[in-house]
Amino acid sequence: MDFYVRSASIIDKLNAGQGSLKGLATLHDKQGDGRRLIALVIETLKYWPSLQAVLAATDLLDRQARQLAHYKLSERSAKDDKVKSDRLPKPATLAAVLAHDLLFSKKGVLALPKSHRIAQIMQGHAAQLRAEKERLKIRTGAGSDAALQVSQPSVAHGKGKSREIDDERDPVLGKTRWMRINLLRWTVAEALDWLAQNGWQLVEKSQNSLQPLQIHLDGEIPSLLAFSRALDLVSFAPYQDGRLIAQDKASCMPAHLLLTASQRPGLVIDATAAPGNKTTMLAAGLPPGVPIMAFERDRGRVETLKKMCNIAGCGKGSTQAVRVINHDFMKVRAKDLPLFEGNLFVLVDPSCSGSGIRARLDHLSQSGQDDTPDRLKALSGFQTAILSHAMRLPRASRIVYSTCSIHREENEDVVMRVLAKPEFVNQGWELLPRSQVLPSWTRRGLVEACKGSQDLADGMIRCDPAQGDDSNGFFVAVLTRTTEDVDAGMLPSTEQETLSPAALPASSKSALRDDTDPLGDLDVLTYFVFGNQLAQERLKRRRLR
């Protein structure tokens, strides 16, 4: 029953415009069931208007709303009571999710024991619900249950053309299921050998979908495999034990571009690390001995990050352990960082509108929350601030900036804004050219957003599923420092960046709260990275000043 409650909670958040489907599924994920959550939410939203019509024509909510509300407060076990009250669903939403499985799932039954109180309530109204569904089909002229789904919108495709969204392409995951070979547990050769021995065929990927038992090794990201969307992850052993990690191709690009630098970093920071796919990819690709600091300011998401690191083989106690730090990256100062030789690399993937993912769900969501100019301005301000903060860290020489947004305000505009700041011009920060940023990827930045410079636009990467890219909507740019002044410490800002918490997504607002500790910010970080002894030494020195 908890699975239905979490699915309904996600729908409420989506309809309130409080996050993207993928992000909300990550927050509500338990025991790796995030993809099942996504599937149920999508299927429920496809039938949302029909479900509302059917429920309105019955007395289910009139008679049982209190029971549905009472369940969520009383029957969740103490161990599972990590879901905050603001994530609990409305009774009407929970009823819609339950009614979907009763009316439109393949088996037409709830995934609940027959003795469960909620199952008994729904079964008591099943005949009435099914009768109203048939009446709705007659009224609307629907010849089948599928005809009751929300109609698919047309999307831009080429010059002046449009096409219907192909139903074969999952609204979130596309026609391909991308799986990254976890190099901490498997080599590419071992993966291909295992797959071949288990009946998989390695093929060249065409424009058509892969068939079951066909795989393709990506030509741009060497450890990435493409599978058919028919792949069942629940029974797929390499996924269950962490040898393969489900990760969209676009999401692999930032870590890949940080790893392909010719120089070896002395320290790597993931500024906003949860849920952990990019972090674990960094851990798998870095030379042994290079420390990784993964910052995440939300306590709930920290647990997800730790779990992901443990599954991938880079958790606490492992050879290539990631240092997971529950702290706001925006509060990190030069003196908080450990001593290291070489330069600093930073991955900055901040909170964004999620439009690269939501664009494929807008026709299902009831939120009505558009990416208004004010909201994009607030997000862009935050993104500019966090990217600028990373660029001011001492010995920072390579920074990858990425978003899952399709809006230039969050992408090219942010990059162009920071590169134009006098402090960064003086420090020699530049955009890495196309020749070093996945040159074979055809979709690049918007020239009109780069002051008409084709070279600057070519240095940025865009992914757009509406234009045929088999990935989520995404943006990536790599900034590098080319002067000898990489040892400069934190420099004062030449302008005051302002953040508007009211305009940020709900997932970001909660993260603006400070963590408190008697040692203070500096020594909290020292404690996590080095242990108590050095933290106490730093605290003693600070008191003697």
Task: Please state the domain extents for the chain.
Answer: 3-74+86-148, 177-246, 250-359+374-480
Residue 349 among known ligand-binding residues: yes
The helix (H) or strand (E) run that includes residue 391 is helix 373-391
Q: What is the SS3 assignment for 431?
A: strand
User: So which residues are the catalytic ones?
Assistant: 404
Instruction: Indicate the average pLDDT of the chain.
Output: 80
Could you read off the pLDDT of 302-335 as tens digits, one per residue? Answer: 988 999 999 999 999 898 899 999 999 999 998 8
How far, rounded to the nearest angstrom, does the alpha carbon of residue 85 sit from its chain's CA centroid? Answer: 23
Dist CA 224 CA 15 (whole Å): 34
Could you read off the pLDDT of 433-462 as tens digits, one per residue? Answer: 999 999 999 999 999 999 999 999 999 999
pLDDT at 502 (0 to 100): 41
Helix axes 277-285, 249-259, angle to 10 degrees: 40
The helix (H) or strand (E) run that includes residue 402 is strand 396-403
pLDDT at 60 (0 to 100): 82
pLDDT at 147 (0 to 100): 87
Instruction: Please state the rounded mean pLDDT for residues 472-482.
Output: 93
Could you read off the pLDDT of 81-138 as tens digits, one per residue? Answer: 444 444 578 888 988 999 998 899 877 777 788 888 888 888 888 888 899 999 898 8
**Higher pLDDT, residue 82 or 389:** 389
Residue 214 has pLDDT above 90, yes or no: yes
How far, rounded to the nearest angstrom, does the alpha carbon of residue 542 sit from its chain's CA centroid? Answer: 39
Could you read off the pLDDT of 416-427 as tens digits, one per residue? Answer: 999 999 999 999
Residue 510 has pLDDT above 80, yes or no: no
Dist CA 88 CA 293 (whole Å): 33
Check whether the bond before 275 is cis (ω within 30° of 0): yes
- The answer to which of 102-111, 243-252, 335-344 has the lowest mean pLDDT is 102-111
The helix (H) or strand (E) run that includes residue 325 is strand 322-325
Residue 270 among known ligand-binding residues: no
**Higher pLDDT, residue 201 or 529:** 201
Side-chain-facing half-sphere of 510: CA atoms under 13 Å? 11
pLDDT at 304 (0 to 100): 85
Dist CA 501 CA 50 (whole Å): 36
Strand partners for 176: 228
Dist CA 152 CA 42 (whole Å): 13
- The answer to which of 22-31, 89-98, 276-285, 525-534 has the lowest mean pLDDT is 525-534
Dist CA 227 CA 224 (whole Å): 10
Architecture in CATH for domain 177-246 = 2-Layer Sandwich (3.30)
% of the chain surpassing 70 pLDDT: 75
CATH number of 250-359+374-480: 3.40.50.150
Dist CA 42 CA 489 (whole Å): 48
pLDDT at 301 (0 to 100): 85
Dist CA 38 CA 419 (whole Å): 38
Q: Identify whether the C-beta of residue 242 lies closer than 8 Å to the C-beta of residue 182.
A: yes
Instruction: Please state the rounded mean pLDDT for residues 173-189.
Output: 89
Residue 86 among known ligand-binding residues: no
pLDDT at 346 (0 to 100): 98
pTM of the model as a whole? 0.70
Could you read off the pLDDT of 124-171 as tens digits, one per residue? Answer: 888 888 999 998 988 888 888 888 887 654 433 333 333 333 333 343
